[in-house]
Structure 1
Amino acid sequence: MEIKNEETCKVYYDDFEPFCRWKNDEQRILEIHLRGFKKQHLRVQVVEPDVVKITGERPTDCTLRSRFRKEIKIPKNLKTDEIRAKLCGDILQIILPKQTTAFPAKPCCTESTTRSECMPSNYLICIESSSATLKMNTKFALQVAGVLAVVVAFGAYAYKCCHSGHVEG
């Protein structure tokens, strides 16, 4: 019978912060990049009515394990009871369906943001809100430019028609 040395049984952890990004579609999708993780290494749970906790741990060798923990504050305009998660290759997608409302949702970033609301997870949510506003403003600007182009073209046509009739002499 062989007795194992206590030193060889000790496990060490490599804690890391995974790269995350938000996508905005008919639903909000948080993509978390997790190279080498498998479905059985991950856990996603709603720990409070407005917080999702994502944890993962996987072995990298016989004494080293790679792990992370992330908590995401969920905006009020999302359905917490319909949150889903799926692993596609090295990307974990947390899918947060939006609630359908008759009124637009209040933006998550306001001037009265408290210190606890400025955690990195919330910061990511606010970046996405800013980019969604930017996309909306860009779309509006393109519509205005299209209308202006039509008005200018019509004005040029009208000017040409009016001045070509007065040239006869």
Structure 2
Amino acid sequence: MENKVVAESQRTYEDFEPFCKWHGSDEIELHLRGFKKEHLKVQIHKGMVTIHGERPLKESNGNTWSRFHKEIKLSDKCDPNDVHAKLHGAGVLTVTMPVVVNAGDYDANKPTSCEFKGQRMLVSKRLKVGKYVTVKFLAAVAVIVAFGFGAYVVKYYS
């Protein structure tokens, strides 16, 4: 045990800020080339997602380590129990923080995830078209087709 403590005290660290890319408002992608699953720790505490990682640098004989620390505030509408992270083979860590939306908060133009009768489903962007607009559109198409057919009949049977 003492050897491990002595070895850790002789480490030097190179801190860095990983490249991060948001996908929507509920998923973040961190580019962590060279990191393995055992080098990373993702925790949730008091409305914050904390992502921490450290790994030895290959060229340093184990004395120099690369590390980062990132904190992200969870949305008030996010269930901390639904947050999950996955490390992909290319060294990309994806952390998903799905937002639960109440029926009154629904916005048809914003993609989000929500609860529906106890099951999770994805709500995508949808164009709301009323029945009246649909009927008018179909009537216009019918008129155009009728005129086209009439012109065809007049041209070829005259």
Q: TM-score range by the shorter chain?
A: 0.5 to 0.7
Greater relative contact order (CA < 8 Å, ≥ 6 in sequence)? 1
- For residues 70-81 of structure 1, what are the structure 2 equivalents within 5 Å? 70-81=70-81
The CA deviation at 1:55 is 0.8
Contact 1:77–1:105, Cα closer than 8 Å, also in 2? no
How far did 1:158 drift? 3.6
Deviation at 1:140, TM superposition (A): 3.4
Secondary structure of the 1:56 match is: strand
Alignment partner, residue 14 of structure 2: 14
Q: CA deviation at 1:163?
A: 7.0
Deviation at 1:100, TM superposition (A): 4.6
Equivalent residue, structure 2, for 1:104: 105
Tell me, yes or no, if structure 1 residue 51 matches structure 2 residue 48: yes
Q: Whose helix fraction is larger, Structure 1's or Structure 2's?
A: 1
Asked whether the 8 Å contact 1:22–1:31 carries over to 2, the reply is yes
Contact 1:46 1:52 survives alignment (8 Å): yes
Matched, 1:156 2:144: yes
Give the aligned length: 128
- Of 129, 133, 140, which residue of structure 1 is paired with 2:127? 140
Runs of 5+ unmatched residues, structure 1? 1-8, 107-128
Contact 2:75 / 2:99 at 8 angstroms: preserved in 1? no
TM-score normalized with structure 2 length: 0.59
**RMSD across aligned C-alpha pairs, in angstroms?**
4.0
- 1:120 matched to which residue of 2? none
| Letter of the 2:40 counterpart | L
1:39 pairs, out of 37, 40, 65, with 37
Deviates more, 1:56-65 or 1:77-86: 77-86
What is the CA-CA distance between 1:152 and the residue it aligns to? Answer: 5.5
* Runs of at least 5 residues in structure 2 that lack an aligned partner in the other structure: 1-8, 113-123
Q: Assess, with a 3 A threshold, how the Cα gap between structure 1 residues 102 and 158 changes in structure 2: closer, same or farther.
A: same
Closer, same or farther: CA 164–40 of 1 in aligned 2, 3 Å: closer
Structure 2 Cα separation of the partners of residues 20 and 74 of structure 1: 16
Conserved in 2, the CA contact under 8 Å of 1:77 and 1:99?
Answer: yes
CA 1:11/1:164 → structure 2, altered by over 3 Å: closer, same or farther? closer
Alpha-carbon separation, structure 2, partners of 1:68 and 1:58: 10
* Alpha-carbon shift at residue 28 of structure 1 (Å): 3.2
Gap change, CA 1:152 and 1:18, over 3 Å in 2: farther
| Partner SS state of residue 103, structure 2 | coil
